[in-house]
Structure 1
Amino acid sequence: MGDAAKKSNGKNSIIEVSKLGEPFKKNCHVSFVFHRHHFQGVIEKQLKNSAIIDFDSEFSQSSTAQELKQKVVISYAKLKLIN
């Protein structure tokens, strides 16, 4: 295992967010399309090119949200900020 792989496996490792992801901070409210359905949620964690999203309560009973255990990873390019 290389040094880079070791660093990325640590729980306290710092993830370098891409330029596209800079506006999508933790706890931001976003909308997105997943499998041709529109959803809304809150960013739980930023990754390099995507974010982990918690589904909003109004979507939590959907079969998609239940199958995904209320979380989904979506590319920053497919996210829209909700004001």
Structure 2
Amino acid sequence: MPMQTKRTKKAGIVGKYGTRYGASLRKQIKKMEVSQHSKYFCEFCGKFAVKRKAVGIWGCKDCGKVKAGGAYTMK
């Protein structure tokens, strides 16, 4: 069974930081990390299958196309 990352229901993905760094900074990080890890629409194949590969590099899991975009969101 794979290890789950540390998180809570309210904090979500930033639960791994615990009480560190302050609430307002954690809210900013949460917004950025949620958009960074979500799937985006592929304009080539028409499916929601685009994920972030690296900073500014986005690739479609379905058709294999790679596109340059924003660092945290595909613009």
TM above 0.5: no
User: Which one has more relative contact order, counting CA pairs under 8 Å at least 6 apart?
Assistant: 1
Report the structure, 1 or 2, having the larger strand content: 1
When Rg is computed on C-alpha atoms for both structures, the one with the higher figure is 2
Task: Give TM class, smaller chain.
Answer: 0.3 to 0.5
Tell me the TM-score normalised to structure 2 length. Answer: 0.34
